[in-house]
Chain A
Amino acid sequence: MSLLANILFFLPLCFVICLVSSTLRRESIAEIFRVGTKLFLKMSFGIILVCGLTYLVMEWRLGY
């Protein structure tokens, strides 16, 4: 799979996970969407950053 396909498959699933996990202990739907979207942005940025750094370290140390 290409990098674009990976990202396109990852982002919707990550968004759903963030939305469902942010429903616990929250009352209103608007708050759920607000917290879930914020969590999705943070998680996506974090995962993509960590993956990019891991790739660069592997390329530097192991020659992949």
Chain B
Amino acid sequence: MRLDDRHDGPLSFELGVGLAHRPHHLGPTDLKVDEVIGIVDHSSLVGVGVSHTKFGSKNGHGSLRSLRAPGIIDKCSQGRKMRKAIRLVGIGSLPYRQPNAALGLLGRKCLAIAADWPHRVVKEIHVDGLTPIAFFLCAAFAVWFVVQSDPRQRTGVLLSWLFPGAGHLYLGHKQRGLLLGGLVLATFLAGLIIADFRNISPLDRHPIWGIAHFFGGLMSALTAGGTASLMIERDNPYYMVGCLYSGVACLLNILVMIDAYDLASAAAPVAATAENEETAA
């Protein structure tokens, strides 16, 4: 790879390096009031918990851990002491007389792991395993489809894939094509607007959503090409909603393709019968 002065389009460099992931912001939901000690005007004993960086994942989305020194013991009630003991020693050494507390802590840990799982899939597995498998399955299905379908079905599905509703227009279902194409396109555009036109980038920003964007055809390809130079410059709280809208629109295009295939299959016997009648006459 070589880069020279005034090299405006270093494609190999862009593909080889990619964009860095943004740092995780510490928000109010990451903090939790630990315990309030019953002493007035002694605010230093009020603790907060933050994400445990060594539990469950590498990126800080784990269980809560107290920041306060472990030597401070609350003497208000037995229940408070037990809760504090559970938080400090962990679930492995819980006393047997506290099943409810154990279940509560187990539930919290399960919820933390369950909430962390999609994040780990997106961050760690997509390049190595999931994306090649998905593209291989899509390619195998495409080959099977080309082998077993007739030209009318192929053209209808291909046009629907390229642009939602175009296959229906080709098959003569104008109203249906306009309705489906309008719904899918409107959802896709809504996602783009919500995410500041920065959510369609199949291979670097969102590999998982890229699988969904594949089914958007030209809609995704043109948007990805047109918005590739835009950088994420502000923290948009609705960014993932935009990703969801655009991704769902592309996935809905699968249903549009299936509908076009269905209509082409239904029309094929009629055309064949008409041809047979003409031949017989």
Could you list which residues of chain A lie within 8 angstroms of chain B, going by C-beta atoms? Answer: 1, 5, 9, 12-13, 16-17, 19-21, 23-25, 29, 32, 61-63
Are A23 and B180 closer than 8 Å at their CB atoms?
yes
25 A-B residue pairs with CB within 8 Å: A1-B237, A1-B238, A12-B190, A16-B183, A16-B249, A20-B184, A20-B252, A21-B255, A23-B179, A23-B180, A23-B255, A23-B259, A24-B255, A24-B258, A24-B262, A25-B262, A29-B175, A29-B176, A29-B179, A32-B179, A61-B103, A61-B104, A61-B107, A62-B104, A62-B107
Residues on B with beta carbons closer than 8 Å to the beta carbon of A61 = 103-104, 107
Minimum C-beta distance from B278 to chain A (A): 27
The answer for the CA separation of A9 and B111 in the assembled complex, in Å, is: 24
Quote the shortest CB–CB distance from A9 to chain B (angstroms): 5
B contacts with A: majority SS: helix
**B27-51: contact bitstring with A at CB < 8 Å (1 yes, 0 no)?**
0000000000000000000000000
Task: Given contacts A5-B238, A16-B183, list 19 more A-B pairs with CB under 8 A.
Answer: A1-B238, A9-B241, A13-B245, A13-B248, A16-B186, A16-B187, A16-B248, A17-B252, A19-B183, A20-B180, A20-B184, A20-B255, A20-B256, A21-B252, A23-B179, A24-B255, A32-B179, A62-B104, A62-B111
When distances are taken between beta carbons in the complex, the residues of chain B under 8 Å from A1 are 237-238, 241
Instruction: For A12, give the chain B residue with the smallest CB separation.
Output: B190
Q: How many residues of B contact A (CB 8 A)?
A: 27
Whole-angstrom CA separation of A32 from B186 in the bound complex: 18
Instruction: Please tell me if the beta carbons of B238 and A9 are within 8 angstroms of each other in the complex.
Output: yes
Which chain B residues (75-113) contact chain A, with CB distance < 8 Å? 103-104, 107-108, 111
Tell whether B157 is near chain A: CB-to-CB under 8 Å. no
The count of A-to-B residue pairs whose CB atoms sit within 8 angstroms is 51
The CA-CA distance from A11 to B240 in the complex, in Å, is 16
B249 nearest CB neighbor, chain A only:
A16
Assembled-state Cα–Cα distance A38/B170 (Å) = 30
Counting chain A CB atoms within 10 Å of each CB, the highest count among B108, B183, B258 belongs to B183
Closest to B244 in A: A13
In the bound assembly, the distance between CA atoms of A24 and B173 in angstroms comes to: 13
Q: Which residues of A contact B187 (CB under 8 A)?
A: 13, 16
Interfacial chain A residues near B259, Cβ < 8 Å: 23-24
Which residues of B have CB within 8 Å of A16? 183, 186-187, 248-249, 252
Chain A residues whose C-beta falls within 8 Å of the C-beta of B190 in the assembled complex: 12
* Residues of chain B contacted by A5 (CB below 8 angstroms): 238
| Complex CA–CA separation, A24 to B256 (angstroms) | 8
Q: Which residue of the partner chain A has the closest CB to B105?
A: A62
Residues of the A chain whose Cβ atoms lie less than 8 Å from the Cβ of B245 = 13
A63 to B32, CA, bound (A): 12
Q: Considering the chains assembled together, what is the distance between the CA atoms of A23 and B241 in angstroms?
A: 25
Chain B residues closer than 8 Å to A19, beta-carbon distance = 179, 183
CB-contacts of B104-150 with A (<8 A) = 104, 107-108, 111
- Contact of B104 with A63 in the complex, beta carbons under 8 Å: yes
Q: Min CB distance, A24 to chain B, in Å?
A: 6
Q: From B107, which residue of chain A is reached at the shortest CB distance?
A: A62
